[in-house]
Amino acid sequence: MTKGLRSRLAQYGDEEFALFLRRGFLKGAGYTDDALQRPIVGVLSTASDFNPCHATAGRLAESVARGVRMAGALPFVFPTISLHEAFTFPTSMLLRNLMAIDVEEMLRALPLDAVVLIGGCDKTIPAELMGAISANVPAIVLPVGAMLAGRHEGARLGACTDCRRLWAAYRAGTLDGDELNRAHDQLMPTAGTCMVMGTASTMACIAETLGFTLPGAATAPAVSSERTRLAEATGARAAQMASAGGPLPRDILSRAALRNASVILQTTSGSTNALVHLAAIAGRAGIAYDLLEFDRIGRGVPVLVNLKPAGAYFIEDFHAAGGVPAVWRRLRDKLDLSAPTVSGESLGEIMARWPAYTDDEVIRPLDRPIYPAQAIAILTGNLAPNGAAIKLASATEKLTTHEGPALVFDSLEDLAARIDDPSLPVTPEHCLVLRNAGPIGAPGMPEAGALPIPKQLGAKGVTDMVRISDARMSGTAFGTVVLHVSPEAAAGGPLALVRDGDVIRLDARARRLDLIVDDAELQRRRGGWEAPARPARGYAKLYVEHVTQADQGCDFDFLAGVV
């Protein structure tokens, strides 16, 4: 196979001339002939001033490059689209596929023999894995790492579980503006990704369990010297992979690896967003990620990792407690330990050499879980024929079996306009329904599924209600929230047919979500249904015409599978 600068030459109809030009430009940049003989490692940097979670990405890229050089290869740092949750309108999920395309096409276009993918904030690692699996060049992920926990007046604070808690207290009038501002200064006290088990940490732990990082890379804090050393080691390993020509992403991603990831998602009580990302990542390798199998695997997996929002601790504590390999050891009977990793070792080999110390308070033993059952369940029923998700570990137990009248919001705008209206006819028994907030409907399936409790009920002390939508929810959120209803309303799913007052039955134990309206009436309503207007131009038009439903990962239909 052609390697180094000779690979992927620009097509001038004369390959030697193309190489002559390429080498000439690099000589112009100061490279010697010796350097130009080396294998090349691309270092994909997501550094961006618009992505404060990745404020350390530039320095990490330098450390990766040092490791690449120490191992005898030549590093080339290059940029890609960088997505931050709070800086991307209307939602970063709309742009995940664009970033995945950017990653895939640059890996296909550039003369690199291996690549280090520096990512972290929620959509970045999924997009990088999707692109790398499709391009199938040797790839290793380096998460930027999580922030340290904040400290405020005797309490430890975590973004963004405590962002939500403090904001809710401010809204309810139990916290004044001055105190909110003082806490605000400590909510994100360092660079790095959110330090609770939100989507970024979930996807980092999943990347490590799938085998795409060096061990420990999911959890070492962003601002630690250990993270810098991991960057150097990642660069050195990538240089070896460049010389060896592997392992390739599709050697690493297998059905067994995906089952291992499902176990980790459950036992960390990770973000429900990971379900969508795992389906998309698997789809790039031509593997259907089966949500019902995910549910079955979860039935024997309690929540052992005691991190916010389900538990009490933060990522830095998880790392000090033993990190992801210590969790593998706890759940060794549930995992396929023969699964390979980019390090060259199997999961089992890493586990065997990993320090024996485990902090039992942060990574609980099986007989003392923080939640005794699976964290996330998959529901089906006439309201969600292709599935919906509920995070049981964050729900109110008694609401997980509930029958109540629907109160329907037709869109995000309708929700914003009416939810705090004092005359809203709502009771604590209502099921709040939000539709047209799915992949096509919003578009981009924003994290709007944890609908706010109507102010009039919040004032009476109501803290949770059954909420149902075709949207997603932040990994840092909580409540009895049914998400990812598929097919979504804008695609003609049954959610589009619900009317105010219809009875909805949620029975999470039986894994059912049903609309108690007879089929003939639903057929009649379907006859009068009209699809909402769709974007007419640009990327949003491409998106709504090709995005798949939540159960298939919301990837573009023309990008799934292997050619």
Residues within the interface to ligand FES (CB under 6 A): 53, 84-86, 121-122, 193-194, 198, 200
CB of 272 vs ligand FES, minimal distance in Å: 15
CB of 312 vs ligand FES, minimal distance in Å: 19
CB of 188 vs ligand FES, minimal distance in Å: 9
> DSSP 3-state assignment of 410?
coil
Query: How does DSSP assign 342-380, residue by residue?
Result: TTSSBHHHHHHHS-S---TTTB--TTS-SBSS-SEEEEE
Structure tokens at 523: 């057929």
Q: Which is nearer to ligand FES, 53 or 324 (CB)?
A: 53
Dihedral of alpha carbons 517, 523, 528, 533, sign: positive
Judge whether 378 and 294 are in contact, CB under 8 Å. Answer: yes
Distance separating alpha carbons of residues 307 and 286, to the nearest angstrom: 33
CB of 199 vs ligand FES, minimal distance in Å: 7
CA-angle at 523, arms to 517 and 528, nearest 5°: 110
Q: Which is nearer to ligand FES, 129 or 248 (CB)?
A: 129
> DSSP 3-state assignment of 385?
strand
CA-to-CA separations, 389 to 204, 470, 512, in angstroms, rounded: 21, 10, 11
Judge whether 381 and 514 are in contact, CB under 8 Å. Answer: yes
Judge whether 550 and 273 are in contact, CB under 8 Å. Answer: no
CA-to-CA separations, 535 to 353, 438, 443, 538, in angstroms, rounded: 53, 14, 9, 8
CB atoms within 10 A of CB 323: 24
CB of 204 vs ligand FES, minimal distance in Å: 10
CA-to-CA separations, 375 to 53, 64, 327, in angstroms, rounded: 27, 36, 15
Q: Which is nearer to ligand FES, 43 or 53 (CB)?
A: 53
CB of 221 vs ligand FES, minimal distance in Å: 13
CB of 193 vs ligand FES, minimal distance in Å: 4
Q: Which is nearer to ligand FES, 69 or 472 (CB)?
A: 472
Closest CA to 208 of 82, 99, 342: 342
Closest CA to 222 of 255, 261, 248, 189: 189
CB of 53 vs ligand FES, minimal distance in Å: 3
Q: Which is nearer to ligand FES, 84 or 505 (CB)?
A: 84
Q: Which is nearer to ligand FES, 191 or 347 (CB)?
A: 191
Strand stretches in 57-210, DSSP E: 74-79, 114-119, 139-143, 150-152, 155-157
Q: Which is nearer to ligand FES, 254 or 273 (CB)?
A: 273
CB of 187 vs ligand FES, minimal distance in Å: 11
Q: Which is nearer to ligand FES, 58 or 348 (CB)?
A: 58
Q: Which is nearer to ligand FES, 46 or 549 (CB)?
A: 46
CA-to-CA separations, 291 to 14, 132, 272, 358, 554, in angstroms, rounded: 50, 23, 12, 31, 14
b/e sequence 139-157, b meaning 16+ C-beta within 10 Å: bbbbbbbbbbbbebeeebb
Q: Which is nearer to ligand FES, 84 or 364 (CB)?
A: 84
CB of 311 vs ligand FES, minimal distance in Å: 18
Q: Which is nearer to ligand FES, 86 or 292 (CB)?
A: 86
Q: Which is nearer to ligand FES, 121 or 482 (CB)?
A: 121
- Look up tokens 């090349």; give the residue: 40
Q: Which is nearer to ligand FES, 73 or 146 (CB)?
A: 146
**DSSP assigned state of 308:** T
β-strands 150-152, 155-157: how paired?
Answer: antiparallel
> DSSP 3-state assignment of 79?
strand
Q: Which is nearer to ligand FES, 84 or 334 (CB)?
A: 84
Judge whether 444 and 129 are in contact, CB under 8 Å. Answer: no
CB of 120 vs ligand FES, minimal distance in Å: 6
CB of 271 vs ligand FES, minimal distance in Å: 10
CB of 507 vs ligand FES, minimal distance in Å: 33
As a three-state string, the secondary structure of 190-208 is CCCECCCCCHHHHHHHHHH
CB of 447 vs ligand FES, minimal distance in Å: 11
Mention every residue, 6+ apart, whose C-beta is less than 8 A from residue 34.
Answer: none
Distance separating alpha carbons of residues 556 and 549, to the nearest angstrom: 10
Judge whether 487 and 388 are in contact, CB under 8 Å. Answer: no
